[in-house]
Chain A
Amino acid sequence: MEKELDRVIEEIMATPNVNGCLVADHQGLCLASKGTAHVDSAGMIVAISEQACKIQPNLKPPTVCLETDTKQCLIQRHGTITGAIFKQKS
C-alpha cells in the first residue's frame, strides 16, 4: 500500500546532501521516515507548517526553511500531507 510513498522517499534520499526525510498526515502522525528524521518530530513538523499557513491563509501553504550553521530543514505542506527534508548544507 505504501510502496509508492517508499519509492518517493528513496528518490528524495538519493538527492545529494539529503540525509533525512519525513512524511506526516494532517494529524501529525508519521506516514514514513528515513535517515536522520525522527518519527517523534512528525507532530512538531505539522504544527510548524500549520502555524506558517496562518500568516497568509488565502495563499497556498508556504515552504518553511529552518537553518542552522551546517543543516537545513525544509517543510512543505500539500493538502493534508506534510513533508520535511533534512539537508546538509553544501
Chain B
Amino acid sequence: MVDDLRKYLNHLLEKVNGLFSIIITDRDGVPLVRAVTERAPELALRPNFISTFGMATDQASKLGLGRNKTIISMYSSYQVIQMNKLPLVITFIGSDNCNTGHILSLESQIEPCLKELAAVVADAP
C-alpha cells in the first residue's frame, strides 16, 4: 500500500514544476510516506519542523473562521504548504516561485489515497 502511494506521490512531484517534496506524516511529524527530490531542504524534512503545523492549525482554528484546512508559508527561497487531514498532515515543499495554486489542486488527487492510511494511524495506540 505504502509503496504504491510513494510511487503515486513521485508521479505527482514530476507534474508540478519546482515542487521538491510531498510528505505525509501524522500530527506529531512522524513521516509515514515521503516522496523527496535531492533539492528539498534537509531542515524542512525534520519532524520538529513539520510538527509545528499541528499547533499552528489548532490556533488558527480558534480565529472564528471555522476549522483551519491549509497553511501556506512563504520563505525567501522556499514555500511550504501544509494541509490538515487529521490524523494526517500533508506537507508540500517547493521553490518560492512554484505554482501554489497547482499544489493546492493536488489535494483532491491525494485525498482518495489517504483513507486507509488515516484508518491505520487513527487505530494506532
Q: Which residues of A contact B (CB under 8 A)?
A: 24, 26-30, 40-44, 46-47, 50
Interface residue B77 (Cβ < 8 Å from any Cβ of A) = no
Closest to A39 in B: B101
Q: Which residues of B contact A (CB under 8 A)?
A: 16-17, 97-105, 108
Q: Which of B97, B99, B101, B103 has the most CB of A within 10 A?
A: B101
Tell me whether B100 and A47 are in contact (CB under 8 A).
Answer: no
Main SS of chain B's interface residues? helix
Tell me whether B101 and A28 are in contact (CB under 8 A).
Answer: yes
Instruction: Please name the 4 residue pairs, one residue from A and one from B, whose CB atoms are nearest each other, closest first.
Output: A28-B101, A43-B101, A43-B102, A28-B99
Q: How far is the CA of A43 from the CA of B102 in the complex (A)?
A: 4
Q: How far is the CA of A40 from the CA of B100 in the complex (A)?
A: 11
The interface residues of chain B lying within 8 Å CB-to-CB of A44 are: 101-102, 105
Tell me whether B105 and A40 are in contact (CB under 8 A).
Answer: yes
Q: How far is the CA of A42 from the CA of B104 in the complex (A)?
A: 10
Between-chain CB contacts (< 8 Å), 13 pairs: A28-B101, A29-B100, A40-B104, A41-B105, A43-B103, A43-B104, A43-B105, A46-B99, A46-B102, A47-B16, A47-B99, A47-B102, A50-B17
The interface residues of chain A lying within 8 Å CB-to-CB of B97 are: 26-27
Closest to A41 in B: B105
Tell me whether A28 and B100 are in contact (CB under 8 A).
Answer: yes
Q: How far is the CA of A42 from the CA of B16 in the complex (A)?
A: 14
